[in-house]
Amino acid sequence: MMNKIGFVGAGKMGVSLGHYLKNKGLSVTGFYDSVSEAARYASELTEAVHFASLNALLEACEVVFVTVPDGIIATAWEACRQYDIRGKYFFHCSGVLCSDVFSGSKEAGVWACSAHPVCAVSSQNDGKVFSGKFFVGEGDETGLKLLKSMLERTKNPFRVIRSADKAKYHAAAAVSSNLFCALAQMGEDLLCECGFDQEAAHDLLRPLMLGNMDNIAEKGCMAALTGPVERDDAGTVAKHLSALQHHDREIYRLLSLRLIGMAQQKHPDRDYTNLLKMLRK
């Protein structure tokens, strides 16, 4: 018999995840939200129950996903603790917060975990975005066991990390997604300084960015590495540095130092000493 799943919070994450789990055959019972219309929409989308009160949802569900913004997860949890929740499972989907945001969970008699889907959810009706994506969990062992069984049913890969590594894990995800946006914008802005308009700059760099990401995805970062740093072309790197100012120059310098570390592993026979000295100035 499947556990009945309820969602506290009917925003983009809660509604989309509920829709996804329901379509994968899990027992999504319903939603509660302080904004009644949000819970009603979620319930209609998933053909589930719109709970008028938090207590009603807690009484009806054995598994509770607290899918509110990170800043109010603790507040929502404290509201849940006012009721008899013994024997239930609590999950949140924050990428950076640990399961310890469910303070006093053991005393309350519940199993508490974080369950972060490694994807960006753009709307309330974005359930397909979870298909095939990793979920990363940490927290109570019994809760993680249940989470694993749920994700086996949905065919989502699953990894467990230590609570102490949660912030570093989320930083890795941010570096690999959000920070790429900053680098792409930096490249476009530099072209605009050369006389391109924003659209033309984007069109020029798009195939370069897509080709590079395809190579990284197919071959891995080390094999995909090309360019003047890999070639140990100190002259070209020096010209780049002279053309850049302020933060752009520092970003280029620090990332190039990182690339040298990769290049040295890829080409252990090359001597990058001069390039290192230039970039460390």
Provide φ and ψ at 211, rounded to 5°.
Answer: -65, -40
Model pLDDT, residue 281: 80
What is the pLDDT at residue 85? 97
Q: What residues of the chain score a pLDDT lower than 70?
A: 1
> Please, what CATH class does the domain formed by 5-162 belong to?
alpha beta
CB 125 within 8 A of CB 16: yes
The predicted-structure confidence for 65-98, as pLDDT tens digits, reads as follows 999 999 999 999 999 999 999 999 999 999 999 9
Q: Give residue 1's pLDDT.
A: 53
d(CA 24, CA 249) in angstroms, rounded, equals 49
Contact residues for 17 (Cβ-Cβ < 8 A; gap 6+): 7, 65, 67, 93, 117, 121, 127, 130
- Given strand 158-160, what is the order of strands in its sheet? 49-50, 28-32, 5-8, 63-66, 89-92, 111-117, 135-139, 158-160
Answer whether 137's CB lies under 8 Å from 114's CB. Answer: yes
Cα distances from 212 to residues 7, 178, 205, 218, in angstroms, run 39, 17, 11, 10
CATH number for domain 176-279, candidates 1.10.10, 1.10.1040, 1.20.120, 2.60.40: 1.10.1040
pLDDT tens readout for residues 181-199: 999 999 999 999 999 999 9
pLDDT score, position 95:
95
The sign of the torsion formed by the CA atoms of 258, 264, 266, 270 equals positive
* Domain residue limits, the chain: 5-162, 176-279
Among 213, 207, 203, CA closest to 180: 213
Model pLDDT, residue 129: 94
Q: What is the CA radius of gyration of the chain?
A: 24
Nearest to 95 by CA among 12, 177, 167: 167
